[in-house]
Amino acid sequence: MTELADLILRRIRAAGPLTIAEFMTEALQHPRLGYYATRDPLGAAGDFVTAPEVSQVFGELIGLWCADVWTRMGRPDPVHLVELGPGRGTLMADALRAVGVVPDFRRALRLHLVETSPTLRSLQAKTLAAAQPIWHESLDQVPTGPTLLVANEFLDALPIRQFERRVGVWRERRVGLAPEGERLALVLDPARSASATLVPARFDGAPEGSVMEIRPAAIRLGTDLARRLAAAGGAALFIDYGHGESACGDTLQAVQAHRYGHQEAIMATGWAGDGAVQDQIDATVKDAVKRARSKLQKGPGLTHCEECGTPIPAARREAVPGVRLCVACQEAHDREEAAFSGYNRRGSKDSQLR
């Protein structure tokens, strides 16, 4: 057992089960033993690769976006250029190289990096030495003023809380002890959790067993950033990956050596296994196709909408065999169908313990 695993076990024995957010914070951000404090996680020798490590064009385009927005802001001088979770500094190095074509912007910017990992700060210092960056533990330490903020794959690494729908109520999932008391396991609150108010009310009709994930740190970040930009001006660009709308689904998983599902690494059971992300995508597409096929009309179409009585043009009857609704009523049905996608129990985005 690792020293960090032992620390977490002792903490649970002393104070009871941890929220998954608390567990993720310990596993990823513990100042001495946490994942980001102890290694460079990027590249072939690490556990994952992000877009800036694949192509310099990614960072260069973001740099030019920053220069364009700065111009449309009225060219404030100085302007704070902020990156959250800068990794090795690769994205920012590419961005700064690209903005050399806008020398006034390059002179006006003051570079601020929000980074908690000493290992990554050391790499950033080498990569970005010429830009004289200033490091911060959190966004609230960055000086106020006109701001351009960039964050690539930052939100998906923030801790989540999970809630499971049981007997019509949301009960929070936690990391507790297995029955023998020597390893970690997922447990549920025994009754409706007070923290269930975090789950949006629109999901109260989710099926039994659905899992909802909430990311409180992202909500706080969005609120604080909105206030900052409203007060002093600026823009923020977040790049991340997932579905366009929030949905139910258990997406928590581990990543090690570019593979998913090493449950020993996260010291608990019951989370998504190897290939889980692609499985979620494939299953969601199959479900959607199956629903769509089940709704295809058969037989002759109608000349008038069966709901509102509006005439259905001949061109629509020819294009849509078996048509029974006018365009307006069909659109209303489609909006109702879109609401169903909010209960995607296959999962929507991976919250990664790397």
Segment 261-309, tens digit of pLDDT:
644 445 443 333 444 445 545 555 565 666 666 666 667 789 999 999 9
If asked whether residues 114 and 222 sit together in one domain, one would say: yes
Higher pLDDT, 239 or 183: 239
If asked whether residues 313 and 228 sit together in one domain, one would say: no
If asked whether residues 131 and 232 sit together in one domain, one would say: yes
Count of structural domains within the chain: 2
Q: What is the pLDDT of residues 196-248, one digit of tens each?
A: 999 999 999 999 999 999 999 999 999 999 999 999 999 999 998 777 778 89
Higher pLDDT, 110 or 180: 110
Evaluate whether residue 179 is within a structural domain: no
If asked whether residues 227 and 125 sit together in one domain, one would say: yes
Evaluate whether residue 329 is within a structural domain: yes
Higher pLDDT, 68 or 346: 68
If asked whether residues 233 and 313 sit together in one domain, one would say: no
If asked whether residues 235 and 312 sit together in one domain, one would say: no
If asked whether residues 127 and 236 sit together in one domain, one would say: yes
Q: Which two tokens stand for residue 78?
A: 């100085």
Percent of the chain with pLDDT over 70: 83
With cut-offs at 50, 70 and 90, classify the pLDDT of residue 250: confident
If asked whether residues 119 and 235 sit together in one domain, one would say: yes
Evaluate whether residue 248 is within a structural domain: no
35-49, 138-152, 154-168, 288-302, range with greatest mean pLDDT: 138-152
Place of tokens 């601020």: 112
Given this model, what pLDDT does residue 341 score?
A: 46
Q: What is the pLDDT of residues 4-30, one digit of tens each?
A: 888 999 999 999 999 999 999 998 888
Given this model, what pLDDT does residue 212 score?
A: 94
Place of tokens 């927005």: 69
Task: Report how far apart, in Å, the C-alpha atoms of 319 and of each of 292, 293, 316 are.
Answer: 17, 17, 5
If asked whether residues 61 and 150 sit together in one domain, one would say: yes
Higher pLDDT, 262 or 125: 125
Higher pLDDT, 42 or 173: 173
Evaluate whether residue 253 is within a structural domain: no
Among 101, 23, 117, residue whose Cα is nearest residue 66: 101
Dihedrals phi, psi of 135, to nearest 5 degrees: -100, 150
| CA–CA distance, 94 with 220 (Å, rounded to integer) | 29
Give a three-class secondary structure readout of the chain: CCHHHHHHHHHHHHHCCEEHHHHHHHHHHCCCCCHHHHCCCECCCCCECCHHHHCHHHHHHHHHHHHHHHHHCCCCCCEEEEEECCCCCHHHHHHHHHHHHCHHHHHHEEEEEECCCHHHHHHHHHHCHHHCCEEECCHHHCCCCCEEEEEECCHHHCCCEEEEEECCEEEEEEEEECCCCCCEEEEECCCCCHHHHHCCHHHCCCCCCCEEEECHHHHHHHHHHHHHHHHHCEEEEEECCCCCCCCCECCEEEEECCEECCHHHHCCCCCCCCCHHHHHHHHHHHHHHHHHHHCCCCCCCCCECCCCCCECCHHHHHHCCCCCCCHHHHHHHHHHHHHHCCCCCECCCCEEEC
Does residue 189 carry a pLDDT above 80?
yes
Higher pLDDT, 134 or 299: 134
If asked whether residues 305 and 222 sit together in one domain, one would say: no
Evaluate whether residue 142 is within a structural domain: yes
Evaluate whether residue 269 is within a structural domain: no
74: CATH = 3.40.50.150
Given this model, what pLDDT does residue 208 score?
A: 93
Residues 6+ apart with CB under 8 A from 166: 188, 208, 209
Evaluate whether residue 28 is within a structural domain: no
Q: Which domain, by its residues, includes 94?
A: 51-157+218-240
Mean pLDDT to the nearest integer, 103-109: 97
Q: For CA atoms 207, 209, 213, 216, give the dihedral sign.
A: positive
Task: Lowest mean pLDDT of 43-47, 86-90, 120-124, 137-141, name the range.
Answer: 43-47
Evaluate whether residue 190 is within a structural domain: no
If asked whether residues 231 and 306 sit together in one domain, one would say: no
289-295: Cβ within 8 A, 24+ apart: 291/337, 291/340
If asked whether residues 58 and 128 sit together in one domain, one would say: yes
| CA–CA distance, 301 with 317 (Å, rounded to integer) | 6
Mean of pLDDT over the chain: 84
With cut-offs at 50, 70 and 90, classify the pLDDT of residue 345: very low
Higher pLDDT, 212 or 322: 212
169-177 and 18-19 beta bridge pairing: antiparallel
With cut-offs at 50, 70 and 90, classify the pLDDT of residue 69: very high
For residue 67, the one-letter residue type is A
